């Protein structure tokens, strides 16, 4: 009887498993958190959905098309059956979006453009379990502006930065936007 070494057993176990895509990364398959913040009857409501990587990519393409930008690369072949995002949302190309990753990637939160935001939004009240704080305070790494000016506010509601309509940028980790507690429309 031949005795197999632990290394040989490990190699055999690896061969018996499903094929591995060497180009795949854990980020590609990790779910993406999508939170919509809106106001209903004067109260802030935040609804969170988990998107697959494919759904997040479809949402990115849709948003780019809604804002008349060239869409990120994707499988847009005619005649190919694909699943829709399948999420009923009031967020649109006119809404303001924050992202947990640079270049508008990763988890995302959108502030629906319903003109009903009665006050500034406290980012610490919007949950995001993948952020070290457990919420969107100190979590945003990039943004995409909506159809209106937005302000980042620090403690005491001191305005630290304005975002022009449809502006798209990364957030400086040492800048005031990175540590802003509040977000609000510029009046």
In-domain check, residue 81: no
Provide the pLDDT for residue 100.
94
Q: Which domain holds residue 110?
A: 29-68+90-185
In-domain check, residue 137: yes
Provide the pLDDT for residue 90.
65
The pair of three-digit structure tokens given for residue 137, joined into one six-digit string: 């305070």
CATH number of the domain where residue 143 is located: 2.60.20.10
Q: Is the pLDDT of residue 14 over 60?
A: no
pLDDT single digits (tens) 105-160: 999 999 876 555 556 888 999 999 888 999 999 899 999 988 888 888 887 767 88
DSSP letter string over 116-138?
A: ---S-EEGGGSB-TTSTTSBSTT
Q: Which residue has the higher pLDDT, 24 or 60?
A: 60
The pair of three-digit structure tokens given for residue 79, joined into one six-digit string: 């005649």
Residue with the two structure tokens 């398959």: 29
In-domain check, residue 101: yes
In-domain check, residue 121: yes
Q: How far is CA 172 from CA 79, 129, 158, 169, 179, in A?
A: 42, 22, 18, 9, 10
Query: Is 187 in a helix, a strand, or coil?
Result: coil
pLDDT single digits (tens) 25-36: 444 568 899 998
> What is the mean predicted confidence (pLDDT) over 89-114?
84
pLDDT single digits (tens) 62-89: 888 877 765 455 444 333 333 333 344 5
Rounded CA separation 156/182 (Å): 9
Average pLDDT of the chain? 73
In-domain check, residue 1: no
Structural domains of the chain, count: 1
């Amino acid at each position: 009887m031949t005795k197999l070494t632990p290394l040989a057993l490990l190699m055999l176990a690896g061969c018996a498993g499903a094929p591995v895509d060497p180009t795949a990364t854990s980020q590609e398959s990790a779910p993406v958190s999508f939170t919509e913040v809106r106001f209903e009857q004067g109260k802030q409501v935040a609804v969170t959905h988990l998107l697959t990587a494919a759904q997040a990519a479809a949402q990115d393409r849709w948003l780019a098309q809604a804002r008349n930008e060239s869409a990120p690369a994707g499988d847009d072949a005619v005649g190919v059956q694909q699943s829709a995002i399948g999420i009923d949302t009031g967020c649109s190309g006119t809404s303001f979006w924050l992202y947990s990753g640079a270049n508008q990637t990763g988890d995302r939160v959108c502030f629906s453009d319903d003109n009903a935001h009665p006050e500034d939004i406290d980012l610490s009240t919007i949950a995001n379990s993948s952020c070290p704080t457990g919420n969107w305070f100190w979590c945003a790494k990039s943004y995409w502006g909506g159809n209106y000016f937005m302000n980042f506010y620090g403690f005491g509601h001191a305005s630290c930065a304005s975002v022009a309509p449809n502006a798209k940028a990364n957030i400086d980790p040492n800048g005031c936007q990175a540590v802003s507690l509040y977000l609000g429309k510029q009046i």
